[in-house]
Amino acid sequence: MAKLIECIPNFSEGRDEKVIEGLVNTAKSVNGVTLLDYSSDASHNRSVFTLVGDEEGIQEVAFQLVKYASQNIDMTKHHGEHPRMGATDVVPFVPIKDVTTEECVEISKKVAKRINDELNIPIFLYEESASTPTRTNLAKVRKGQFEGMAEKLLEEEWAPDFGERKPHPTAGVTAVGARMPLVAFNVNLDTDNIAIANKIAKIVRGSGGGFKYCKGIGVMLEDRNIAQVSMNMVNYEGTPLYRAFETIRFEAKRYGVNIIGSEVIGLTPAKALIDCAEYYLQIEEFDYKKQVLENHLLN
Amino acid sequence: MAKLIECIPNFSEGRDEKVIEGLVNTAKSVNGVTLLDYSSDASHNRSVFTLVGDEEGIQEVAFQLVKYASQNIDMTKHHGEHPRMGATDVVPFVPIKDVTTEECVEISKKVAKRINDELNIPIFLYEESASTPTRTNLAKVRKGQFEGMAEKLLEEEWAPDFGERKPHPTAGVTAVGARMPLVAFNVNLDTDNIAIANKIAKIVRGSGGGFKYCKGIGVMLEDRNIAQVSMNMVNYEGTPLYRAFETIRFEAKRYGVNIIGSEVIGLTPAKALIDCAEYYLQIEEFDYKKQVLENHLLN
């Protein structure tokens, strides 16, 4: 069984169709890799690619994309709403099948080293690959953005993990790391009071004393006039979706508020949902790997 | 995207290792097909193979296996606890990916015709492929077993769908058809009273006025001293697992009995469980095909 690894590089270009096309062509040019999806946002001026491949292919395609971006995106001219620090802003590697997070950490370090060796772009390792606890958090790593990186790299605690204390003149700095698959999971409440959604989000998220692998904020769905607890489940094994869901349910009751639905945005690994079915159906000793038919069909 | 079809042929040999090995070798000899699993039961004197493949490969492997069985299994000498009527007893085709049940019906008919044309084995089409409502039920088709087939085929309503009214002298008769994937799903109760499990099984199963695509009986788990509602969910889209589960829960309450767990036996399609997660998490507008990561990885 081949190892399958996902890579979701973010590029600081969401407007120039020629450059985006160049990235797509690069993504498709590497053997052993499938481009699952890509999307560009003009106001963010940013594109997100979703690739999956074997151990060798995913490393090669990540490097080739970073190389193409470094040659075709000039950060000195970049404007957009989304925070960013490099032509390739961030390169996460995610374990999908028959591969551990530790192996993805190794992969991320190999790719980080090659990017620096051949393209001279300084690298911060982040998330599971981070060299210090501060660097696990991408927001902290990226703080200061492209324009502030020259100064930041000179600060005592911000020497890059690979490369010199000087950003690439046009490609800036790139964060590379391994992380668990992320599931975007939103729970809708039968209230138009966003304060309630905010209070519940604070309870459920790790930073508020809640579940370690859950990030969350209150959001107003203007078109439906309801409040929502909008979450990123950053490790669905550490914090299963059902646990956040049931906690929101019983916390909402304090306000006489009920859950009226939920949303999963974009892609989710099957296991994130099957783990929930196991909980609710009280299935004893379920062996995900062996008992789910599709797991025998993935090459 | 290639169509993926599962085939689960049952052979009337569970003891002779040479013959079983021959079936395994035949199963592995066809391109575009993967042998997922096989198991033999000596007291049943029967082997069940689970194969998956593309449209062409699955037809070829089914035929080659039936051919091998017809040359190596002699039904006139067969004894075993499980009802059976042929060297290859039954050949179901199951839609797995990018293929409809209707297409599997067509596949089953093509294979049935070829088996009869080339091997001279009479065929009953069953389940979704059945030519009459009586023939949807394998137990009714098989009634009389190998020893009674010569007589049965002469009865007015039991002319085979392919072939003459005369069983193959050593290979008997084979049932071929298309069906939905079956999920074996058992629900455990906190009672040692099997009568309660039997009453609930009768309520939940289609034949008792319950859910159309659910078969069920009460079973005693002697080692745990608890009663169980043991079910075959023969179409998890028509009757989702959670619906049977919740019905058992509220019916059991009448007796002061609770669900203490459940079991999924053997393989299940991911969707049978993800549909349950969708229900319990109240997920709005989930697109299984697009949103489950693994669906993009199957070839």
Is A264 in contact with B273 (Cβ distance < 8 A)? Answer: no
- Chain B residues in contact with A49 by the CB 8 A cut-off are none
Indicate if B82 belongs to the active site: yes
Q: Using 50, 70 and 90 to split pLDDT, how confident is the model at A82?
A: confident
pLDDT tens per residue, range B244-294: 999 999 999 999 999 999 999 888 999 999 999 999 999 999 999 889 998
Q: How many domains does chain B have?
A: 2
pLDDT at B298: 67
Q: Does residue A174 sit in the same domain as residue A192?
A: no
The residues in A 252-291 lying below 8 A from B, measured between CB atoms, are: 259-264, 266-270, 273-274, 276-278, 280-286, 291
Domain that holds residue A202: 183-298
Take residue A16 and report the two structure tokens written for it: 């120039």
Residues A75, A203 within the same domain: no
Q: How far is the C-alpha of A130 from the C-alpha of A107, rounded, in Å?
A: 13
The answer on A111 and A9 residing in a single domain is: yes
**Mutation choice for A interface testing from B280, B285, B290, B299 by most A CBs within 10 A:** B280
Neighbours of B224 (CB within 10 A): 12
Q: What is the CATH number of the domain that holds B256?
A: 3.30.70.670
- Same structural domain for residues A249 and A172? no
As a whole-number percent, the residues of chain A with pLDDT over 70 amount to 99
Q: Are residues A173 and A267 in the same domain?
A: no
Picking from A134, A156, A178, the residue at the C-terminal end of a domain is A178
Helix (H, G, I), strand (E, B) or coil at A284: coil
Between residues 84 and 113 of chain B, which touch chain A (CB distance below 8 Å)?
Answer: 96-97
CA torsion through residues B210, B212, B214, B215, sign:
positive
Q: Does A156 touch chain B (CB under 8 A)?
A: no
The Cβ of residue B246 has, within 10 Å, a number of other Cβ atoms equal to 16
Identify whether residues B164 and B193 lie together within a single domain.
no
Answer with the one of A178, A213, A244 that is the final residue of a domain.
A178
Q: What is the DSSP-derived secondary structure letter of residue A292?
A: B
Is residue A13 located within the same domain as residue A144? yes
A263 contacts in chain B (CB < 8 Å)? 283-285
Q: What is the Rg, in whole angstroms, of the alpha carbon atoms belonging to chain B?
A: 20
- pLDDT grade, residue B299 (50/70/90)? low
Chain A interface test: which of B1, B189, B283 (most A C-beta within 10 Å): B283
> Tokens in use for B19?
């013959």
Q: Which residues 6+ apart lie within 8 Å of A157 measured at CB?
A: A132, A134
Residues A9 and A38 in one domain: yes
Q: Do A282 and B276 touch (CB under 8 A)?
A: no
Q: Does residue B173 sit in the same domain as residue B187?
A: no
Q: Which pair of structure tokens corresponds to residue B118?
A: 């080339």
| Per-residue pLDDT tens digits for A25-74 | 999 999 999 998 899 989 889 999 999 999 999 999 999 999 999 999 99
- Give the tens place of pLDDT for each residue, A90-109: 999 999 888 999 999 999 99
Confidence of residue A299 (pLDDT cuts 50, 70, 90): low
Which residues does B63 contact at the CB level (< 8 Å), separation at least 6?
Answer: B111, B114, B115, B118
Record the tokens describing residue A215, joined without a space: 């990030």
Q: Taking the CB of residue B258, how many other CB atoms lie within 10 A of it?
A: 12
Residue of B nearest to A241 (CA): B281
Instruction: Decide: B58 and B52 in contact? Cβ < 8 Å.
Output: yes
Residues A17 and A117 in one domain: yes
Mean pLDDT over all residues of chain A? 95
For A43-79, letters b (16+ CB in 10 Å) and e give ebbbbbbbbbbbbebbbbbbbbbbbbbbebbebeebe
> Are B173 and B217 contained in the same domain?
no
pTM: 0.82
Same domain for B146 and B214:
no
Q: Helix A241-253 and helix A270-280: axis angle, to 10°?
A: 60
Q: How far apart are CA A78 and CA A69, in angstroms?
A: 13
The CATH number given to whatever domain includes residue B117 is: 3.30.990.10
Alpha-carbon gap, residue B196 to B29, rounded angstroms: 49
Could you say which of A79, A82, A168, A296 is catalytic?
A: A82
CB-based contact A281 B241, cutoff 8 Å:
yes
Question: pLDDT of B109-119, one tens digit each?
Answer: 999 999 999 99
d(CA B131, CA B125): 7
**Per-residue model confidence (pLDDT) at position B1:** 55
Q: Are B208 and B218 in contact (CB under 8 A)?
A: no
